[in-house]
């Protein structure tokens, strides 16, 4: 999960910056007395440079614990810490191409969409952005395995070889073959694998400043466009809002999608106020002229239970149009509720799907749900009154 030092690297033999003790078989019997939510506990003591993980059956707490520390340390040096994946374009002359960032919570497609055979993966989940560009501070990837197939997610599927670790994945047959469709244990099966299992990964694990910044959301209301172009102000509003839907398998007790707002697409891991990270992002976007987009990987043609989930094929087509720049040649229309710039046409994507209202059979129901979600955005942003003026870039 972390960058591996070589045996000759002085980091490997020097005093450790931080120690994590993962006691996964131990639990906190007094969790109610301590005001916790369960017997599982993840505790970090910054002064003593030590962290303890109790009772978790996932390795993710190791990486997210360190991520929380990075969210404190990097901004102190005016470096932006980000819950995002990143990849870089490949060029014919072997030089480094354009950098793209993919922000998003679990279940939005961050890992899937950044693992692109036509681009080199910088990192899967956690990055920094400083004066030199974007850099990864992980050494691996942590992906969901539910319904994983080679056809849908080739790079991830083929990365599950020796030195990859499966967590809570059912096995079948005498040879114990992983069964990714069997969710009897949990829908949140996971695999952790080193980044070099991805063919053509970007070995330097750093690249230039981001040309495109993509915010991924899984909208269970089914009212947000599959792709929309954001102004810099709208980008900051969406970043601070961090809207998505919790999907089954990402959190305990979630059986169907639930709309939620997670600041900076990673509120649980922030150690500073969200506006601190937003202000740093603003500096980066303005200084480097980065493009920003909102991509909905959630429902289309209706909300959960009525419509259907956006196909990976259509979402990939939206991403491809962003990365190759062809989306800028599209004619755009403005969404009347969310004030977003939506392309009327886009290569290989049904134009009816691009405008979410057109994809709904019941237009009145769409209008009702769109206004309901807009109200949730506004209500959520009230907590930042007095801290920032980004609210003016939200829904009308």
Neighbours of 26 (CB within 10 A): 14
pLDDT at residue number 139:
87
79-140+197-396 and 154-196, same CATH topology: no
State which H helix or E strand residue 316 sits in: helix 312-323
Question: The whole model's pTM is what?
Answer: 0.88
What is the spatial distance between Cα 159 and Cα 133, in angstroms, rounded to a whole number?
27
Beta-bridged to residue 193, according to DSSP, are 141
Q: Which CATH number fits domain 154-196: 2.170.8.10, 2.160.20.10, 2.130.10.10, 1.20.80.30?
A: 2.170.8.10
Q: How far is CA 264 from the centre of its chain?
A: 10
pLDDT at residue number 38:
94
Q: Which residues of the chain have pLDDT under 50?
A: 249, 254
- The residue extents of the domains of the chain are 1-56, 79-140+197-396, 154-196
* Domain 79-140+197-396 in this protein, CATH class: alpha beta
What is the spatial distance between Cα 126 and Cα 141, in angstroms, rounded to a whole number?
10
pLDDT at residue number 21:
94
- Cα distances (angstroms) measured from residue 349 to each of 12, 193, 311, 352: 49, 33, 10, 9
pLDDT at residue number 150:
94
List, for residues 64-109, the tens digit of each pLDDT value. Answer: 999 999 999 999 999 999 999 999 998 877 677 999 999 999 889 9
List, for residues 100-146, the tens digit of each pLDDT value. Answer: 999 999 889 998 899 888 899 999 899 999 999 999 988 888 889 99
């Amino acid at each position: 999960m972390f960058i591996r030092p070589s045996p000759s690297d002085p980091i490997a033999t020097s005093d450790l910056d931080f120690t994590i003790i993962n006691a996964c078989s131990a639990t906190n019997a007094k969790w109610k007395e301590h005001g916790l939510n369960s017997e599982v506990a993840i505790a970090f003591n910054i002064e003593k440079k030590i962290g303890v993980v109790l009772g978790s059956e996932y390795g993710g707490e190791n990486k997210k614990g360190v991520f929380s520390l990075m969210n404190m340390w990097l901004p102190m040096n005016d470096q932006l810490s980000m819950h995002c994946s990143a990849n870089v374009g490949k060029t014919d002359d072997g030089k480094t191409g354009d950098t793209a960032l993919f922000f998003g919570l679990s279940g939005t497609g961050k890992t899937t969409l950044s693992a692109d055979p036509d681009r080199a993966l910088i990192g899967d989940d956690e990055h920094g952005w400083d004066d030199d560009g974007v850099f990864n501070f992980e050494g691996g990837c942590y992906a969901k395995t539910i319904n994983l197939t080679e056809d849908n997610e080739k790079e991830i599927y083929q990365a599950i070889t020796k030195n990859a670790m499966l967590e809570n994945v059912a096995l079948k047959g005498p040879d114990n073959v992983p069964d990714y469709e069997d969710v009897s244990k949990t829908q949140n099966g996971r695999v952790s694998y080193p980044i070099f299992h991805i063919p053509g990964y970007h070995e330097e694990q750093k690249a230039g400043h981001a040309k495109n910044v993509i915010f991924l959301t899984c909208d269970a209301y089914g009212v947000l466009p599959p792709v929309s172009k954001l102004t810099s102000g709208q980008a900051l509003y969406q970043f601070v809002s961090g809207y998505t839907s919790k999907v089954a398998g990402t959190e305990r007790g979630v059986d169907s999608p639930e709309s939620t707002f997670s600041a900076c697409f990673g509120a649980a891991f922030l150690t500073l106020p969200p506006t601190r990270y937003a202000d740093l992002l603003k500096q980066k976007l303005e200084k480097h002229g980065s493009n920003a987009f909102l991509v909905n990987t959630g429902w289309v043609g209706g909300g959960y239970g009525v419509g259907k989930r956006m196909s990976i094929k259509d979402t990939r087509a939206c991403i491809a149009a962003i990365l190759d720049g062809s989306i800028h040649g599209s004619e755009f229309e403005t969404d009347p509720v969310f004030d977003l710039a939506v392309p009327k046409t886009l290569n290989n994507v049904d134009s009816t799907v691009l405008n979410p209202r057109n994809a709904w059979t019941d237009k009145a129901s769409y209008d009702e749900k769109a206004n309901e979600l807009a109200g949730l955005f506004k209500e959520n942003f009230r907590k930042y009154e007095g801290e920032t003026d980004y609210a003016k870039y939200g829904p009308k």
